[in-house]
Amino acid sequence: MANIAVIYKSIYGTTKQYAEWIAEELSASLLEASNVKPAQLMDYDVVIYGGGLYAGGIAGAKLVSKNPCKSLVVFTVGLATPEITDYTDIITKSFTSEYRNKIKVFHLQGGMDYGQLSMIHKAMMAFKKKEVEKTPLSERTNDDLLLLETYGGKCVFTDRETIKPLVDYVRAV
Ligand SMILES: Cc1cc2nc3c(=O)[nH]c(=O)nc-3n(C[C@H](O)[C@H](O)[C@H](O)COP(=O)(O)O)c2cc1C
């Protein structure tokens, strides 16, 4: 059996929830990113890194984009609907082209609870909402519509079933 680590960075818990499910399925070690030293990454045959999406970046991804792993699988968790979202910019921004050829990336849907957001995150979302409202109706993206629909409330899209492609991929590595 391969020695697998699931390392995650989560602010509001949705990425942590996915990381727990994945670690359970794969009998992997579960580690919070801030407790991991870069040199530890090479202790594992496969590192699965999960980070929440914040303003088009993957939380904490520098841990695995700047330090070597034997084999790296990445998953992102965002509000956006994975099936209809283009993640090219996010991945290009987070990983060099050399890295991008070596890693496998999966995208999962998290959620949002405005009641839990920090002041700064509330302000960022309010700013984003104003921007969307200024965008002509015909130019609004699916993400824009989702933001307006869910703004101010609580939505939970975490779904254990959606980890299956990642789990199957890692089992086959
Ligand atoms: C300030 C802020 C910025 C966000 N930016 C994005 C984004 O760029 N793309 C996206 O899909 N979701 C975005 N989200 C939604 C989060 O990715 C989503 O809530 C996710 O489930 C958070 O993961 P966590 O619970 O592990 O922290 C943002 C949320 C906040 C509060």
Domains defined along the chain, listed by start = 4-110+157-172 (3.40.50.360), 113-154 (no CATH)
pLDDT tens across the length of the chain (173 residues)? 689 999 999 999 999 999 999 999 999 999 999 999 999 999 999 999 999 999 999 999 999 999 999 999 999 999 999 999 999 999 999 999 988 888 999 999 999 999 999 999 999 999 999 999 999 999 999 999 999 999 999 999 999 999 999 999 999 98
CB 15 near ligand 1, within 6 Å: yes
User: Is this structure's pTM higher than 0.95?
Assistant: yes
Give the residue, by CA position, lying nearest to ligand 1 atom 28.
Answer: 54
- Ligand 1 binding pocket mutation candidate from 9, 54, 147 (most atoms within 8 A of CB): 54
Query: 29: phi > 0 → left, psi -120 to 50 → alpha, else beta; which?
Result: beta
CA atoms within 13 A on the CB side of 126: 8
Give the residue, by CA position, lying nearest to ligand 1 atom 4.
Answer: 54
Determine the distance separating the centroid of ligand 1 and the alpha carbon of 55, expressed in angstroms.
Answer: 7
CB 80 near ligand 1, within 6 Å: yes
Q: How far apart are CA 124 and CA 141, in angstroms?
A: 18
- Ligand 1 binding pocket mutation candidate from 16, 34, 53, 147 (most atoms within 8 A of CB): 53
Q: What is the pLDDT of residue 173?
A: 87
| Residue 121 CA, closest ligand 1 atom number | 1
Distance of CA 106 to the CA centre of its chain: 8
What are the strands, taking DSSP E only, across 1-70?
A: 4-9, 29-32, 46-54, 57-58
Q: What is the pLDDT of residue 99?
A: 86
Q: What is the pLDDT of residue 98?
A: 86
